[in-house]
Amino acid sequence: MFAGAVAHFAFPAGASAQQLPALGPLDARERITFFIAEGAPDSDYRAQDRDLATWALLSWERSTGGVLQFESAPESAALVRVYWVAADAGQYGEMRPLLVEGRRGAEVFIRPDTRALGEQIAQRAQLDALFRDTIVYLTCLHELGHALGLSHTADVRDVMYFFGFGGDIAQFFARYRSELRSRADIAKTSGLSAGDLAQLRDLYPATGPP
């Protein structure tokens, strides 16, 4: 998660903390199934936010040169599940590990209500729709990175950067926003750094160079 709070891990029915697999790479021998939910009524979710989550998945997929391949599936069968939830204590998002038929999966929770992220972020997002979409997209990219097994970093250039290290958070998002001329540009502007890709190659060794 971007914010400094600690994740609360949810255990599926019948699973204990000991039974949950350690975070690490997903099993890429088969396609990785995913599910993107509709937004909760109080989440400030917008229908087009589904695109942002999908583009984030595709960005990770492209960056592995085909090692990872994602495929839509029903919620109950999906290894990776994306949910849109209400704002909570300034958190941008959260990842929780999940077991799906004995395989490690993940639930990703995105909080798209930028009004809850501090006055500076909220005002800019209200005035600039692409800045708002930047926040939601990069949050999806970050939390899906955790779902894939990536860890936080202390390098502000990385999408996996942890805001607990401080720095100019608005500028973190503005850097990506400056690369966009239209919303469609998000689909082809990954937001991943060399550091992010190095982590990805460590987890999925067949991944190509940046």
Per-residue pLDDT of the chain in tens (210 residues, 90 and over written 9): 554 333 333 333 333 334 445 578 998 888 999 999 999 999 999 999 999 999 999 999 999 988 999 999 999 999 999 999 999 878 899 999 999 988 899 999 999 999 999 999 999 999 999 999 999 999 999 999 999 999 999 999 999 999 999 889 999 999 999 999 999 999 999 999 999 999 999 999 875 555
Strand bridging mode 103-110 / 93-100: antiparallel
Q: In whole angstroms, what is the distance from residue 172 CA to residue 129 CA?
A: 16
pTM, whole model, 2 decimals?
Answer: 0.89
Whole-angstrom CA distances from 39 to 44, 113, 149, 167 are: 8, 11, 25, 30
CB atoms within 10 A of CB 51: 18
How far is the C-alpha of 182 from the C-alpha of 161, rounded, in Å? Answer: 25
Domains of the chain: 32-203 (3.40.390.10)
